Amino acid sequence: RFATLTRQPDDPLLKIIGQHAADPRPDKIDLGVGVFRDEEGRTPVMTAVKAAEARLLETQASKSYLGPEGDTGFVQALGRIVIGDAVPSDRYVGLQTPGGTGALRLTAELLARAGVARIWIGSPSWANHAPIYRQAGVEPAMIPCYDLTSQTFDLEGFLAGLNGAAEGDAVLLHGCCHNPIGIDPDAAGWAAIAERVVAQKLIPVVDLAYQGLGDGFDSDAAGARAILAAVPEALLAYSCDKNFGLYRERTGALFAITPDADAGAVVLSNLLALARANWSMPPDHGAAIVRIILEDETLTAEWRDELETMRQRLESLRAMLAEGGRIGTVDLGAVAHGKGMFATLPLSPAQVEWLRDRHAIYMAGSGRINIAGFNVAAVGRFHDALRDMAAN
Ligand code: PMP
């Protein structure tokens, strides 16, 4: 039977990682992989995480199973700081998932189970969104709504695209720090989207994977909270993998907002059944770390400080990039308005390749760059490389 399978394309980002590793040029720049880096190019374990791990090692008395819901203390503590007062706690349920990806996968399967046929997604989006929904039988409907030249989100275009949605369709929204564009709706934009979602009776699925890396921890959740507060039903897929630096620990959660507690119990029972059929139970380690941090004021303060330092690094790198101004087709001043780890530059695949071959600058073929891949010296080199390209 396996002979009936056709070869699938390699992950293009993994290929870039390999090429970058094999490049002998000492001043090569990696803007490809989506992980935070410090000025030295490292992705360190956060100090609050190290402290929580040490505590866990000392105090954990058993590795016995927890259950498909995972660490409920983690889920409750996370719900409090993410959803806050936007929705009363008897109107939402949650469970731990293997990363934000696991949470998204469950949203797709729950929507499919509830008879939702389509999910509307602003385009471009994270490359995994459309495949996750398609694989679960929910058809992704893409709405092109970003302009790379001006680095803007086209709210009118997005709302016009939603005109094609039927009552009960889902709509995917990046909570903050849009991947791959870096441009989020402003407060008025979020209000307009919330109004539209209510008017057309759509089910919002908010993907919040970078809270704390945009404007600040609470402001980064403001859009998500505005949406969740406005509707009877919604889903929130959350990742702790970036803001706690836990990547490989696969730490995330899914929250479902429901009209009341009875409806919540039914939804949770379905999510638990889907989790059991997918992974039975989520991995424990990362969620236990986050719980220990969030249940301890000192560790929470330490984590928030470090996260704020990471956020400020991204902000100052954007400001440094902006000093390059307009170079050829790229307006680096506009890139500075973006938030979080990513921006996508208006570069052709041939230009991306040229930058790689000529200047050892590695980025995704789409022109997406990881802002955290820069340091002070690399920003200068990047400006020079773009000028070289514009002159050639
Ligand atoms: N959503 C978005 C927008 C992302 O960029 C990512 C990670 N790249 C995820 C979800 C999934 O995160 P995780 O690694 O926790 O599965």
Dihedral sign of CA atoms 248, 185, 76, 130 in order: negative
Mutate-to-test residue for ligand 1 from 97, 128, 172, 173, highest number of ligand atoms within 8 A of CB:
128
Same domain flag for 33 and 159: no
Residue 174 CA, closest ligand 1 atom number: 3
207 is catalytic: yes
Same domain flag for 34 and 170: no
Same domain flag for 283 and 141: yes
pLDDT (tens, 9 = 90+) of the chain, 392 residues, equals 999 999 998 888 888 999 999 999 999 999 998 999 999 999 999 999 999 999 999 999 999 999 999 999 999 999 999 999 999 999 999 999 999 999 999 999 999 999 999 999 999 999 999 999 999 999 999 999 999 999 999 999 999 999 999 999 999 999 999 999 999 999 999 999 999 999 999 999 999 999 999 999 999 999 999 999 999 999 999 999 999 999 999 999 999 999 999 999 999 999 999 999 999 999 999 999 999 999 999 999 999 999 999 999 999 999 999 999 999 989 999 998 999 999 999 999 999 999 999 999 999 999 999 999 999 999 999 999 999 999 98
Same domain flag for 220 and 314: no
Same domain flag for 137 and 151: yes
Same domain flag for 308 and 160: no
Residue 168 lies in a domain: yes
Residue 99 CA, closest ligand 1 atom number: 15
Cα–Cα dist 360/158, whole Å? 36
State the DSSP H helix or E strand holding residue 338, giving kind and residue range, or none if neither: none
Residue of the nearest CA to atom 1 in ligand 1? Answer: 209
Local structure of 252: helix, strand or coil: strand
Last residue of one domain, picked from the residues 282, 297, 312:
297
- Interface confidence, given as ipTM, is 0.99
Same domain flag for 56 and 174: yes
Compute, in angstroms, the gap from residue 100 CA to the centroid of ligand 1. 5
Q: Which residues line ligand 1 (CB under 6 A)?
A: 34, 99-101, 126, 174, 179, 207, 209, 239, 241, 252
Same domain flag for 202 and 147: yes
Contact between 34 and 341 under an 8 Å Cβ cutoff? The reply is yes
Total number of domains constituting the chain = 2
CATH number of the domain enclosing 199: 3.40.640.10
Same domain flag for 96 and 152: yes
Radius of gyration of the chain (CA): 21
Looking at residue 13, what is its pLDDT?
Answer: 86
Looking at residue 10, what is its pLDDT?
Answer: 86
Residue 294 CA, distance from chain mean position: 21
Compute, in angstroms, the gap from residue 249 CA to the centroid of ligand 1. 13
Same domain flag for 172 and 304: no
Residue of the nearest CA to atom 9 in ligand 1? Answer: 100
**Quick check: pTM over 0.90?**
yes
Residue 343 lies in a domain: yes
Looking at residue 11, what is its pLDDT?
Answer: 85
Q: Active site residue: 207, 220, 241, 331, which one?
A: 207
Residue 191 lies in a domain: yes
Cα–Cα dist 190/196, whole Å? 10
Buried b or exposed e, range 243-279, using 16+ CB within 10 angstroms:
bbbbbebbbbbbbbbbeeeebbeebbebbbebbeeeb
Compute, in angstroms, the gap from residue 102 CA to the centroid of ligand 1. 9
Residue 391 lies in a domain: no
Dihedral of the alpha carbons of 207, 208, 213, 215, in degrees to the nearest 10: 90
Same domain flag for 281 and 368: no
Cα–Cα dist 227/206, whole Å? 8
The boundaries of the domain holding residue 342 are 11-45+300-386
Select from 231, 239, 197, 190 the least CA-distant residue to 82.
Answer: 239
Quote the strand ranges of 182-307, DSSP E: 203-208, 234-239, 251-257
